């Protein structure tokens, strides 16, 4: 009888999963039809990630005393405020046009109007610190659903996904985001956009460093990548304009912005993964760059060349952990020992990569 019940439960589970899988397939077909790659993305899968290295438009820049001012067409300058107002309006309209051209929204939510969802998502891009020139590089489709139609756990999703498709006979990686219409924070849109850029750049459909997956220690849900989530949080902080006056440029320490967005070190299950998250976030926030490496030890070591990363690691009392990871990587790069005529005390190991001074 018990075996019979187990068999029935398996059948019921497959029946419940069937509509979900069918709708997922329909969604993929719809996105594939509606998502041409942009010109720059056809040329390079790194275009999106590289565009995130741009300086945010709301960061205060030092003024060049030799920089020319915009010449207004009036002799005495009395109409300058009017000219500036018209110029600002032209810039705003151009940014709005570029947003609609590059960020399409597919609404599949039965209980939400696509017009509101589209306005909310596109508005996040318009209000962000992303340069308008980067929109074409970041172009992708946003899918809006309420979590019931496409999520068997009836959750309210806010995540991105990457997938491979065929474009002109060649395999390419295309990205799309899925959002819940209930989520209103602009930073979420930028966070998920960073995941799309991450997946495209790595070319595998996966985000983050290989082998760094962690149990989500707070929600106990699907595995998460500390390097991927650190990158996405750092990019969201870099370009989010929810409070553009809060931080005008890179923060003094990682503590200035840690935990403001989706994740914190507490979400990850080992000290090494916590250090990976902090390093990835600080590196993304201050440089806009992905952490690179075949594994966590190489990725943390490489990120350590950024002084802001070392500062963030120290601020979070993770120096010994980062040192250990860095030493693990250096051990694989040892080329030999430099002998000395002065004796063995003056000999030293030789590596083919530079060391990182985590204490400074």
pLDDT digits (tens, 9 = 90+) for 236-256: 989 986 554 445 566 655 555
Same domain for 248 and 300: yes
> Is it the case that residue 65 has pLDDT exceeding 70?
no
pLDDT band of residue 7 (cuts 50, 70, 90) is very low
| DSSP 8-class letter at 224 | B
> Is it the case that residue 24 has pLDDT exceeding 70?
no
> Is it the case that residue 171 has pLDDT exceeding 60?
no
Same domain for 93 and 31: yes
Vertex 160 angle, CA 159 and 164, to 5°: 150
Average pLDDT rounded to a whole number, residues 194-211:
85
Range of the domain at 26: 1-59+83-192
Same domain for 99 and 45: yes
The answer to whether residues 208 and 227 touch, using CB atoms and an 8 Å cutoff, is yes
Same domain for 148 and 111: yes
Domain boundary among 192, 222, 250: 192
Q: Which residues are within 8 A (CB) of 288 and not within 5 positions of it... i.e. 6 or more apart?
A: 52, 53, 54, 235, 238
> Is it the case that residue 151 has pLDDT exceeding 80?
no
**What is the per-residue pLDDT across 208-246, written as a single tens digit (0 to 9) for each?**
998 899 988 887 777 899 999 999 999 998 998 655 444
Specify if 340 maps to a domain: no
Least confident range of 26-35, 107-116, 238-247: 26-35
Average pLDDT rounded to a whole number, residues 92-120:
80
In the Cβ-directed half-sphere of 334, how many Cα atoms lie within 13 Å? Answer: 11
161 or 315, greater pLDDT: 315
Specify if 241 maps to a domain: yes
Average pLDDT rounded to a whole number, residues 43-51:
88
Output the pLDDT for position 40: 77
Output the pLDDT for position 244: 44
Same domain for 234 and 174: no
Same domain for 88 and 32: yes
The answer to whether residues 83 and 120 touch, using CB atoms and an 8 Å cutoff, is no
Q: Output the average pLDDT for the chain.
A: 76
Q: Report how far residue 204's alpha carbon sits from residue 130's, in angstroms, rounded to the nearest whole number.
A: 25
Same domain for 101 and 48: yes
Using a 10 angstrom Cβ sphere, with 0-12 exposed, 13-18 middle and 19 or more buried, the burial of residue 40 is middle
Same domain for 299 and 186: no
> Is it the case that residue 319 has pLDDT exceeding 80?
yes
Domain count, the chain: 2
Output the pLDDT for position 257: 56
pLDDT band of residue 16 (cuts 50, 70, 90) is very low
Q: Report how far residue 205's alpha carbon sits from residue 305's, in angstroms, rounded to the nearest whole number.
A: 27
> Is it the case that residue 164 has pLDDT exceeding 80?
no
Same domain for 176 and 223: no
In the Cβ-directed half-sphere of 227, how many Cα atoms lie within 13 Å? Answer: 27
Domain boundary among 148, 168, 192: 192
The answer to whether residues 295 and 209 touch, using CB atoms and an 8 Å cutoff, is yes
284 or 211, greater pLDDT: 284
Output the pLDDT for position 31: 56
Specify if 159 maps to a domain: yes
Distance of CA 316 to the CA centre of its chain: 22
Output the pLDDT for position 83: 72
Same domain for 124 and 89: yes
Specify if 90 maps to a domain: yes
Specify if 337 maps to a domain: no
Same domain for 135 and 43: yes
Average pLDDT rounded to a whole number, residues 148-167:
55
Of 356, 263, 265, 350, which Cα lies nearest the Cα of 315? 265
Same domain for 48 and 186: yes
Specify if 284 maps to a domain: yes
């Amino acid at each position: 009888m018990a075996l019979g019940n187990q068999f029935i439960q398996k059948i019921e589970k497959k029946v419940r999963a069937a509509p979900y899988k069918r709708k997922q397939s329909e969604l993929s077909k719809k996105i594939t039809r509606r998502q041409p790659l942009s010109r720059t993305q056809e040329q390079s899968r790194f275009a999106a990630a590289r565009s995130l290295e741009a300086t945010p438009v709301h960061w205060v820049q030092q003024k060049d005393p030799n920089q020319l001012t915009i010449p207004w067409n009036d002799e005495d300058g009395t109409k300058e405020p009017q000219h500036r107002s018209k110029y600002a309006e032209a810039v705003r309209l151009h940014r709005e046009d570029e947003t609609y051209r590059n960020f399409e929204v597919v609404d599949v939510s039965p209980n939400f109007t696509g017009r509101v969802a589209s306005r909310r998502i596109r508005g996040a891009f318009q209000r962000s610190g992303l340069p308008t020139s980067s929109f074409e590089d970041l172009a992708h489709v946003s899918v809006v659903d309420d979590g019931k139609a496409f999520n068997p756990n009836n959750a309210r999703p806010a995540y991105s996904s990457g997938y491979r498709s065929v474009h002109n006979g060649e395999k390419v990686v295309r990205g799309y985001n899925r959002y819940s219409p209930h989520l209103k924070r602009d930073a979420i849109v930028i966070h998920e956009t960073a995941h799309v850029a991450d997946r495209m750049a790595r070319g595998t459909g996966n985000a983050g460093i290989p082998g760094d997956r962690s149990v989500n220690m707070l929600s106990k849900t699907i595995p998460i990548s500390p390097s991927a989530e650190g990158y996405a949080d750092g990019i969201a902080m870099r370009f989010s304009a929810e409070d553009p006056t809060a931080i005008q440029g890179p923060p003094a320490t990682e503590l200035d912005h840690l935990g403001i967005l989706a994740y914190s070190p507490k979400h990850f299950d080992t000290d090494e993964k916590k250090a990976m998250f902090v390093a990835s976030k600080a590196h993304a926030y201050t440089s806009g760059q992905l952490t690179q490496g075949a594994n966590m030890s190489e990725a943390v070591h490489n990120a350590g060349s950024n002084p802001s990363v070392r500062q963030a690691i120290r601020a979070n009392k993770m120096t010994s952990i980062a040192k250990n990871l860095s030493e693990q990587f250096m051990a694989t790069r040892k080329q030999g020992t430099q002998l000395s005529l002065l004796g063995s005390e003056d000999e030293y190991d030789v590596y083919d990569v530079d060391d990182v001074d985590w204490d400074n």
